[in-house]
Chains A and B, each alone.
Chain A
């Protein structure tokens, strides 16, 4: 193994009105061919900036210092001409969002061929042929035809494959992958990681994998580096880092992750506070304000990255030897909060009142064509027969890939509009039989928290007005409104003095707390949580999740928790419903569905979720799904999952006919567990 890329003491700063933003403050690493280095950090930790600095792709205002050596040759300070010769040939890059990373006006074949012909003197035809070869290598079906398609004709996962094909076009020595799977669904993420592995085998390149997801790194990387506030705070072999973390931040991150393999529901250990601003950083350790182990020296001097007992494992903490000696784990350092259960939740499920009952809900949209003479050419069956119910004090997790109809379902519930077919019953009242006034009164009992708090809070309203808007709409007098705003802010862990400030003055986690407070203003019975933590940084997720659990216990709320992250659902939900193409294909108690999934789709979803545990992750056998979610415009006959189903593919001849012809219905698989599959696995022997 030879060292191909060596970065040492890399610094990057951007000028700003408030002073220089020190995005990277001294980062050193090296990678050898065939090796995978994972760089983990939250947004603003400097991980992506450092990658762009290596490529020389930062905006011209950026000041870059230190050294980047590729095969011993210094790259920093090289001109555009010399760097261009290295980019794409020696070092190539895969970016996060494959939709915007491909030029919309050229075919994907042309764009890959361009990558080839920039660096090698080949004819146009040869370059095009190589592009088709590469597309085939990354698993694009019918590559010769698809090469002539434009990026907008590809799905997200397919586009990311194209990006990878482009990155491996010239047999690079280093591939830098910057959050390559963040914008993708879990099943697609699993496919893409597989393709990246293929790319590495084919090129023998070193991979620098940048991500915020510790789970992705666990199974994929050989070595891991954790970044915080522009500096690496811990680095080492993947096993060392996951099983023997020595820096409190790493410990906190690991403890704050909801785990898919958790057996008992324990509160997550939250990392209080949020990452510091990179302008005018104080002299001490940047993690001090959030660190329960801080001592006086921490505020004065920033600890360097220094070796622990194992010299290859380094940590930047003044107390690393102490942590090592006492074998401290996340729970020892970060006190876990106590979360009780609501009185109502202790009753058996059958004796609790249903808050929401959805029966055979359908929402179809006509697909129209023509401008003058509009005619219907088809139907988009966004929601196609969904049934579930939620009882008092209960959390139902609704999971599925993007495009499966989750959002349409919750919009249908929240608006209380008349569905195409089926019924939505809220607190015993059928939404289709309400007049305007009744519908409005009933809406008080429903509220919603959206994914992105920055987008869902009006930036021009002070927090107090945001919280009292709903109260005013429902005619609450002014004095009571003001009192309620203070109550709400305290309820979500903020203070009444925050009421006069604007959303921009808060961090991401605090904004989501405000959004939660707004949802609680009218004392609803059911709160719909639409991906409430997926836009938040990893370290603040745990705090919000704990808050949600605490509120449920205190206020006896019921949650409809919509998410694509199954680990979070496993942590917070009591029951779970898995959606696929407008239908629920499996549902039941969380433990039943997660431990003994009966539907092959659930099985695949679960196996696609990375677990932040390197040994288990390496030992796992993945059920990889073929292809993408079909269009809800063109739903396959019989079982709608058939085309991607590994179980169907393995069926002996003759048995498959049933899957092709007959649509399966949900049948009981055990106590509080049902699944819609013709061939569920035999129940485990008891």
Chain B
């Protein structure tokens, strides 16, 4: 088993390296940091621009392979280069990583759990009103782009706040700047800010997982082993959970890995719309400022996240399904 996981890890590591390399070459050839300096008033001399670009390792006169080599050399030592403004990418990442992870981790786990729950209920109460309702809602959410969901949520929060006359939900930033008060007060403030962005991610996740889980569960509901479990004397609900859900969870482990990439893309919009200074927002901003190093660093971050999601899903699969365990 350990050997199997090690091999998977190695596979994923190769994929991460490949994604990062491709990302660097793509960003390095399409983004144009030089334009940040050109057309300034007063104009900068070509030599001065080159010097500044060289200093940032962004000079397009240097062959891209050489620039990549320099950047990679830094990455190995934990230095991800400099942003276009000359700040350390590593430090900026340190500030932003927590913000993004908070959204992503809570979003994916909450979305997964609730999605499985909704899916199971839909299957057990197939063709009841709740099943139809969750089906319609899921398809509406799945076919709505994340940014629209986010904007609609914002609107809904605005109306709710106006209706109640209290600032119940906040929708800009991850905390209220300059807020004073005790620790509990601060935590509450963060939670209030967290609700809407998380919701914008979780809704899509619930919609996604619930459809798959409903199908997987329906397959299991008609199975002979569920009947055997009841014939042994297990109560229906107990059998549904212990024998039914346990088996129907197996395919979900695979979806978890596939879905994670989708989630990260969605989170970029969420961060941007709710004004969260996370990795996704940074990515969009870096592209507009021709910040090659930052763009590639975010690419690497996402690749590593997908790696972790993949490993988790492999582990979950092996834990759930004894038939794939290799001894």
B320 touches A87 (CB 8 A): no
A639 within 8 A of B: no
Main secondary structure of the interface of B (DSSP, over half): helix
A115 proximity list for chain B (CB < 8 A): 232-233
Quick check: which of B46-54, B111-119, B151-159, B223-231 contacts chain A, the rest being far away?
B223-231
User: A85 near B323 (CB under 8 angstroms)?
Assistant: no
A88: nearest chain-B partner, CB-CB = B233
Our pick among B224, B233, B243, B247 for the contact of A95 (Cβ within 8 Å) is: B224
Report B-chain residues with C-beta under 8 Å of the C-beta of A106: 243
- Decide if B247 touches A114 in the complex (CB within 8 Å): no
- Interface size, chain B (Cβ < 8 Å): 21
**Does A335 count as interface, using CB distance less than 8 angstroms?**
no
B235 to A101, Cβ gap below 8 A? no
A81 to B322, CA, bound (A): 31
Distance in angstroms between the alpha carbons of A55 and B232 in the assembled complex: 10
State whether the Cβ of B79 lies closer than 8 Å to any Cβ in chain A. no
- A505 lies within 8 A of chain B by Cβ: no
Q: Is the pair B227, A57 in contact by a Cβ cutoff of 8 Å?
A: yes
Of B225, B235, B236, which contacts A102 at CB under 8 A?
B225
Q: Enumerate chain B residues within 8 angstroms of A88, measured Cβ to Cβ.
A: 231-233
Residue contact A103 to B233, C-beta cutoff 8 Å: no
Contact A93 B323 (CB under 8 A): no
Q: Please provide the chain B residues from 209 to 245 with a CB less than 8 Å away from any CB of chain A in the complex.
A: 223-225, 227-236, 243
B224–A97 CB distance below 8 A: yes
Q: Which B residues lie within 8 Å of A57 (CB)?
A: 227, 230-231
Interface residue? B132 (CB, 8 A): no
A residues less than 8 Å from B232 (CB atoms)? 87-88, 92, 114-115, 118, 166, 169
User: Measured between alpha carbons, how far is A615 from B229 in the docked complex, in Å?
Assistant: 38
Per the bound structure, the CA–CA distance linking A532 and B288 in Å amounts to: 71
Query: Residue B102 at the A interface, CB < 8 A?
Result: no
The interface residues of chain B lying within 8 Å CB-to-CB of A81 are: 235
Q: What is the CA–CA distance of A104 and B249 in the complex, to the nearest angstrom?
A: 13
Instruction: Give the docked Cα–Cα distance between A57 and B224 (Å).
Output: 11
| Residues of chain A with a CB closer than 8 A to B250's CB | 105
The proximity string for A residues 102-114 relative to B, scoring 1 for CB distances below 8 Å and 0 otherwise, is 1111110000001
A106 to B229 CA separation, bound complex (whole angstroms): 12
A85 CB contacts on chain B under 8 angstroms = 233
Could you tell me the distance in whole angstroms from the C-beta of A15 to the nearest C-beta in chain B? 13
CB of B55 within 8 A of chain A? no
State whether the Cβ of A89 lies closer than 8 Å to any Cβ in chain B: yes
Find out whether the CB atom of A87 lies under 8 angstroms from the CB atom of B230.
Answer: yes
With CB as the reference atom, state the residue of chain A lying closest to B220. Answer: A103
Please measure, in the bound complex, the distance between the C-alpha atom of A85 and the C-alpha atom of B322, giving whole angstroms: 30
Chain A residue nearest to B319 in the complex (CB) = A105
Report B-chain residues with C-beta under 8 Å of the C-beta of A93.
Answer: 228, 231
Given known contacts A80-B235, A89-B233, A100-B223, is B228 in contact with A105 (CB within 8 Å)?
no
B236 and A80: CB pair below 8 A? yes
Residues of B within 8 A of A352 (CB): none
Contact present for B224 and A101 (CB under 8 Å): yes
Take A95-B227, A100-B225 as given contacts and tell me if A105 and B322 are in contact as well, using a CB distance cutoff of 8 Å. Answer: yes
Is the CB–CB distance between A84 and B235 below 8 Å? yes
Decide if B230 touches A103 in the complex (CB within 8 Å): no
Contact of A103 among B229, B235, B236, B320 (CB under 8 A): B229
Check A163 for interface membership: any CB of B closer than 8 A.
Answer: yes
Enumerate chain A residues within 8 angstroms of B236, measured Cβ to Cβ.
80, 84
A87 touches B227 (CB 8 A): no
Q: How many residues of A contact B (CB 8 A)?
A: 33
- Chain B's closest residue to A152 (CB) is B323
Residue of A80, A105, A150, A170 near B246 (CB, 8 A) is A105
Tell me the complex Cα distance, A656–B224, Å. 45
Distance, CA A479 to CA B182, complexed state (A): 94
Residue from B227, B234, B246, B320 in contact with A101 in the complex, judged by beta carbons closer than 8 Å: B227
Given contacts A87-B232, A114-B232, contact A105 B227 (CB under 8 A): no
Q: List the B side residues contacting A244 at CB < 8 Å.
A: none
Report how far A106 CA is from B232 CA in the complex, Å. 15
The CA of A84 and the CA of B233, in the complex, are separated in Å by 4
Question: Provided the pairs A97-B224, A152-B323 are in contact, do residues A119 and B230 lie with their beta carbons within 8 angstroms?
Answer: no
Tell me the bound Cα distance from A163 to B225 in angstroms.
11
Across the interface, do A84 and B234 meet the contact criterion of CB distance under 8 Å?
Answer: yes
CB-based contact B234/A118 at 8 Å: yes
Contact indicator B233/A87 (Cβ below 8 Å): yes
For window 261-309 of chain B, which residues contact chain A by CB distance below 8 Å? Answer: none
A245, B83: Cα distance in complex, Å:
95
B-chain residues with CB within 8 Å of residue A104 when the two chains form the complex:
225, 247, 321-323
The answer on a CB contact under 8 Å between B231 and A55 is yes
Please state if A92 and B231 are interface contacts (CB–CB under 8 Å).
yes
Q: Closest chain A residue to B222 by CB distance?
A: A59
Who on chain B is nearest to A96 by CB?
B224
Nearest B residue to A89, CB-CB: B233
Question: Within 8 Å CB of A92, what residues of B?
Answer: 231-232
**A93 to B231, alpha carbons, bound, how many Å?**
6
Q: Which residue of A lies closest to B225 (CB)?
A: A103
Report the separation of the CA atoms of residues A52 and B228 in the bound assembly, to the nearest whole angstrom: 11
Q: Please, which residues of chain A bring their CB within 8 A of the CB of B247?
A: 103-105
What is the 8 Å Cβ interface bit string for chain A, positions 52-83, against chain B (1 contact, 0 not)? 10010100000000000000000000001100
A87 touches B231 (CB 8 A): yes
Do A102 and B228 touch across chains, with their CB atoms under 8 A apart? yes
Q: Are the C-beta atoms of A150 and B224 separated by less than 8 Å?
A: no
Contacts of B229 in A (CB 8 A): 103, 114
Instruction: Report Cα–Cα, A639/B236, bound state, in Å.
Output: 51
Q: Could you tell me the distance in whole angstroms from the C-beta of B200 to the nearest C-beta in chain A?
A: 35
Complexed CA–CA distance, A346 and B133 (Å): 73
* Shortest distance from the beta carbon of B4 to any chain A beta carbon, whole Å: 11
Closest chain B residue to A86, Cβ basis: B233
CA distance A114 to B238 in the complex (A): 12
Q: Which residues of B contact A80 (CB under 8 A)?
A: 235-236
A109 to chain B, nearest CB (A): 13
Please tell me if the beta carbons of B228 and A119 are within 8 angstroms of each other in the complex: no
- B residues less than 8 Å from A107 (CB atoms): 322
In the bound complex, CA of A341 to CA of B19 (Å): 74
In Å, the complex CA distance between A114 and B233 comes to 9
Chain B residues near A97 (CB-CB < 8 A): 224
Complex interface residues of chain B between 65 and 118 (CB less than 8 A to chain A): none
Point out the residue from A55, A84, A89, A105 that lies within 8 Å of B321, measured CB to CB. A105
Q: Which residue of B lies closest to A169 (CB)?
A: B232
Mask, B309-322, CB within 8 Å of A = 1, is 00000000000111
From B224, B230, B320, give the contact of A84 (CB < 8 A).
B230
- Pick the residue among A100, A166, A169 that contacts B224 (CB under 8 A): A100
In the bound assembly, the distance between CA atoms of A104 and B220 in angstroms comes to: 11
Q: Mark A143-178, 1 if CB is under 8 A from B, else 0.
A: 000000010100000000001001001100000000
**Interfacial chain A residues near B223, Cβ < 8 Å:** 100
Complex Cα gap A14–B234 (Å) = 25
Chain B residues near A119 (CB-CB < 8 A):
233
- A87→B238 CA distance, assembly (Å): 14
A170 to B243, CA, bound (A): 20
Task: Give the distance to chain B from A200, nearest Cβ to Cβ, in Å.
Answer: 18
Nearest CB in chain B to that of A98: its residue: B224
Complex CA–CA separation, A286 to B250 (angstroms): 47
Contacting residues, chain B, for A166 (C-beta < 8 A):
228, 232
**Chain A residue with minimal CB distance to B322?**
A150
New contact pairs (5) apart from A118-B234, A152-B323, CB-CB < 8 Å: A80-B235, A87-B232, A88-B231, A103-B228, A105-B320
28 examples of A-B residue contacts, CB within 8 angstroms: A52-B227, A57-B227, A57-B231, A81-B235, A84-B233, A84-B235, A84-B236, A87-B233, A88-B231, A88-B232, A92-B231, A95-B227, A100-B225, A102-B228, A103-B229, A103-B243, A103-B247, A105-B250, A105-B320, A105-B322, A114-B232, A114-B234, A115-B232, A118-B232, A150-B322, A152-B323, A163-B228, A169-B232
Please name the 10 residue pairs, one residue from A and one from B, whose CB atoms are nearest each other, closest first. A88-B233, A88-B232, A100-B224, A101-B224, A103-B225, A115-B232, A93-B231, A118-B233, A87-B233, A150-B322
Which A residues lie at the B interface, using CB under 8 A?
52, 55, 57, 80-81, 84-89, 92-93, 95, 97, 100-107, 114-115, 118-119, 150, 152, 163, 166, 169-170
